[in-house]
Homo-oligomer: A and B are copies of this chain.
């Protein structure tokens, strides 16, 4: 970490700063140039509060040289992490196909979709039991009952299940859930992340709507710092000014995360685009770009069928995506 000191700062002020930094266990190197003095900090700078340092009146600017994340950092863990999930895994050689309905609605629905996505090539079943909704008047999910239905589908099909948590107090309900999802709106719900860090569950951490990749890795760090290294990252689109898509899918996140971290990263093209007709091309692009898996919404419920289709893919369309993605995976 480097701090550039403002012109005209007195030696005494610089010494004060250096003493304070040394007291925090860092080696401090002063480099006085003709125009500016630069303070180089060596040691565990992840404990230094960058914003506080930058806010000091004598500091012109601060630049981190080493990244502030440690457990998630590829530098200290060069091999790809492979997260075990039931009879399968995420990361390494296995490509994850996670599919299922947006919301669990009934036993019939979830059972039918589970079988259909398994036949189509899914390696895991996803489904929402607790649903984060912008409006308090929108359907909030079947909650505990929804998890029960997912577990029945798991028993029937053998597919590990992925479902979202919104409250650490609900953790007992997730005992038999294979992957616990943290949604975009909770990516910086640090209290929830800390509680998940105390478990050994695989955690699927979605990038927030306006969060940088560094912040995504820092949120993974919250979980890992608690002792749980089973983190799967998920790119699901960020918020921009473009209005034709719900969000802007940032696929450059894939090679960047692979460079910065050893954690696997999957892509959710359904939520990112908000349009079923864009799911296949973005799924292929994600696979070609090096993603470790995909999470795709697949439906089969009467409410949607009533009007002949919807945002989610049908099981047949999902099967087509799986086989096309596999062809791409073979050649890269």
Query: Which residues on A are within 8 Å of B, measured CB to CB?
Result: 2, 4, 13, 16-17, 20, 27, 29, 31, 33-36, 38, 40, 42, 46-47, 49, 51-52, 55-61, 63, 65-66, 68-69, 132-139, 166-169, 185-186, 188-191, 194, 208-210, 212-215, 218, 221-222, 225-226, 238-245, 248-252, 254-256, 259-260, 272-274, 276-278, 281-282, 284-290, 303-304, 306-312, 324, 327-328, 330-332
Contact = CB atoms under 8 A, between A and B. Distances in A.
14 contacts: A2-B38, A35-B66, A47-B137, A49-B139, A55-B274, A55-B276, A55-B312, A56-B310, A185-B188, A185-B189, A185-B190, A240-B240, A281-B290, A327-B332
Given A20-B307, A186-B188, A214-B243, 5 more contacts: A35-B66, A69-B135, A136-B190, A185-B189, A208-B210
A9 to B, nearest CB: 9
Contact of A250 (B190, B242, B284): B242
Given A60-B65, A135-B68, A278 B304 contact: no
Contacts of A248: 238, 240, 248, 250, 252
Contacts of A138: 47, 49
A134 B188 contact: yes
A158 to B, nearest CB: 29
A61 B61 CA distance: 14
A260 B63 CA distance: 21
Given A33-B42, A55-B311, A290-B281, A218 B65 contact: no
A191 B331 CA distance: 45
Given A56-B310, A287-B288, A277 B255 contact: yes
B13 A307 contact: yes
Contacts of A69: 135
B328 A288 contact: yes
Contact of A33 (B40, B281, B303): B40
Nearest to A60: B65
A278 B254 CA distance: 9
A27 B34 contact: yes
Contacts of A20: 303, 306-307
Contacts of A168: 167
A59 B55 CA distance: 27
Nearest to A225: B136
Please give me the 3 A-B residue pairs with the lowest Cβ-Cβ distance, nearest first: A210-B210, A57-B309, A55-B311
Nearest to A187: B185
A46 B36 CA distance: 17
Contacts of A310: 52, 55-57
Contact of A255 (B42, B218, B243, B281): B281
A328 B259 CA distance: 23
A276 to B, nearest CB: 8
A38 B31 contact: yes
